[in-house]
Amino acid sequence: MGDEDSLFGKASRALGWSLVNTAAARLGTLAIGIALARLLGPKEFGVFAVAMVALLAVLSFHELGVSLAIVRWPGDPREIAPTVATISVASSVVIYAGCYLGAPAFASAMGAPAATGVIRLLTLSVVVSGLVAVPAALLQRGFRQDRKMLADQVNNWGGAVVSIALAATGTGAMSLAIGRLVGATASALLLVKASPEPLRFGFDVEKARALLRFGLPLAGSSVVVFAVATVDQLVVGNVLGATALGFYVLAFNLSNWPVTMFSQPVRSVAPAAFARLQHDPPKLRGAFLSTLGLLAGLTLPICLLLSGAAQPLIRLVYGSQWGPAADALQWLAILGGLRIMFELMYDYFVVLAQSRAVFTIQLIWLVVLTPALVAGARLWGIPGVGAAHVAVAALVVLPLYLWELHRDEISVTSVLARLAPPALVAAAVGLAAVAAHLAIPLDLIALGVAGTVALAAIALFFHRTRGTLSGLRTLEGADAGSA
């Protein structure tokens, strides 16, 4: 099999398109977020954050986990696509009805009763997402991130233009909800058009049972994953109020930048690539370890850069009124680095159909995390919430993931050998960023120095580990040759 049709060739091209897509989207989102933060202020930003928590909650399980079955289905995905589409849309409509009815209670519990209308409008995106679950999954299975890129950019920029225009006229948090819904609808139309198969509905009872057996444990796990990612915002809103939530959400969004910029493109390709190596467990384990090391080398230094340079970054970019967000960002950026590693491990176990192991880890994480966050919020405000997050992730969750990998014959030593070098490089970058901030009074210059150190460290790391990528090519080449 030639390289043009090989798994690595397809995955490499898909990853390249996904990186370009994500980079454009994240840079655009960053610029848009800066404009909206300055236009709205912490309080209105907090109201919208309440609605986003509700939306992300239902998006984590709205199609009952069945769309991922298309990505890893061993046969022709057209066999199950109509049934998946029916389940996705039906469940999404039912869930939206629950969102509409429950919006007032949820908004009050989050300390922002004014968010009720925003929640009801924004969560309409759930129905839109249910409609395009199958087209999006088919594009992912076929490594057609190039086709997905246009839809994502229309979603990002189209929605942003609407949001900024409305925010400038004083529409407040509702401007963000309207923009999001407009962007999602336009993107959905493009995804349906770009899909390799037309959107069809149908229902096969036997296939539905098989899909739900696969999807429901995964959906349950996704709900817990969502809860782990957003219970902090629930705690901040309930304990500290909407304004504090605005500060916290801004910090969380910034800390999430490396996750969405680098981890999500890899995650859009890795499950399909891992799935095609299921027949050869040693190659699959080797591909996982190589991907883990490369991802850590790219993202951990950036996360520690954000942590060390939090104060000058917030002041320069968002203005002094957002200063309290920096106290949370110092911790949340470290958490972002840990989350990137956990997400790749999550995808690995999903490909192995070990959804229960993932669910167990996430459930323990949630049970331990919730009281820790409440204690952190009451003792130290939003920095305490961030510190509690990092402590639980490092001391509880990481050992659990390492144990599950050990059970799958991936030793703790081999994982740490891949993670230790980039972690040391990242620590040096973080210390350099702190030193630059303390020694240089001008924020722009301090950030420039810290950023230069981070880029140099990443370049040096990849120069020293350039053989790893060649190893992945060799690994895939052997796989292609045996096909």
Segment 142-153, tens digit of pLDDT: 766 667 778 888
**Among the ranges given (1-15, 125-139, 141-155, 170-184), the one the predictor scored with the smallest mean pLDDT:** 1-15
Contacts of 84 (CB under 8 A, 6+ apart): 63, 66, 67, 69, 70, 133, 134, 137, 211
Taking the model in full, what pTM does it have? 0.80
Taking alpha carbons only, the member of 43, 447, 53 closest to residue 253 is 53
High-pLDDT (> 90) share of the chain, %: 43
Taking alpha carbons only, the member of 319, 314, 308 closest to residue 254 is 314
Distance CA 237, CA 247 (A): 11
- Three-state DSSP state, 64: coil
How far is CA 176 from its chain centroid? 20
Phi and psi angles of residue 443, each rounded to the nearest 5 degrees, phi first: -60, -40
What is each CA distance from 70 to 137, 173, 434, in whole angstroms? 6, 36, 46
Q: Is 243 left (phi over 0), alpha (psi -120 to 50) or beta?
A: alpha
The yes-or-no verdict on residue 161 having pLDDT over 50 is yes
Query: Who has greater pLDDT, 476 or 61?
Result: 61
Torsion of CA 111, 114, 119, 120, to 10 degrees: 140
Distance CA 64, CA 216 (A): 6
Tokens of 421: 């070098």
The yes-or-no verdict on residue 477 having pLDDT over 50 is no
Looking at residue 328, what is its pLDDT? 97
**Among the ranges given (17-26, 113-122, 338-347), the one the predictor scored with the smallest mean pLDDT:** 17-26
Looking at residue 97, what is its pLDDT? 95
The yes-or-no verdict on residue 476 having pLDDT over 50 is no
Mean of the per-residue pLDDT values of the chain: 85
Q: What is the DSSP string of 234-287?
A: HHIIIII-HHHHHHHHHHHHHHTHHIIIIIHHHHHHHHHHHHTTTT-HHHHHHH
Query: Who has greater pLDDT, 58 or 384?
Result: 384
Residue type, position 42, single letter? P
Answer yes or no: are the C-beta atoms of 409 and 285 closer than 8 Å.
Answer: yes
Tokens of 273: 């690539």
The yes-or-no verdict on residue 119 having pLDDT over 90 is yes
**Among the ranges given (50-54, 93-97, 385-389), the one the predictor scored with the smallest mean pLDDT:** 50-54
Looking at residue 478, what is its pLDDT? 45
Distance CA 204, CA 210 (A): 10
Taking alpha carbons only, the member of 294, 305, 334, 307 closest to residue 421 is 294
The yes-or-no verdict on residue 473 having pLDDT over 70 is no
Tokens of 31: 């610029």
The yes-or-no verdict on residue 307 having pLDDT over 90 is yes
Helix axes 205-235, 7-59, angle to 10 degrees: 60
**Among the ranges given (127-136, 165-174, 225-234, 284-293), the one the predictor scored with the smallest mean pLDDT:** 225-234
Looking at residue 475, what is its pLDDT? 46
How far is CA 475 from its chain centroid? 28
Looking at residue 4, what is its pLDDT? 42
Q: How many CA atoms lie within 13 A of 9 on its CB side?
A: 8
Annotate 99-136 with b (16+ C-beta within 10 A) or e (fewer): beebbeebbeebbbebbbbbbbbbbbbbbbbbbbbbbb
- Three-state DSSP state, 143: coil
- Residue 354: band (very low, low, confident or very high) from pLDDT cuts 50, 70, 90: confident
Looking at residue 482, what is its pLDDT? 44
Q: What mean pLDDT comes out for the span 451-456?
A: 94
Looking at residue 425, what is its pLDDT? 94
- Residue 46: band (very low, low, confident or very high) from pLDDT cuts 50, 70, 90: confident
The yes-or-no verdict on residue 5 having pLDDT over 60 is no
- Residue 6: band (very low, low, confident or very high) from pLDDT cuts 50, 70, 90: low
Looking at residue 483, what is its pLDDT? 44
Query: Who has greater pLDDT, 159 or 71?
Result: 159
The yes-or-no verdict on residue 461 having pLDDT over 90 is no
Computed from CA positions of residues 303, 136, 174, 230, in that sequence, does the dihedral angle turn out positive or negative? negative
Q: What mean pLDDT comes out for the span 11-28?
A: 62
Phi and psi angles of residue 432, each rounded to the nearest 5 degrees, phi first: -65, -40
Other residues' Cβ atoms within 10 Å of the Cβ of residue 414 = 17
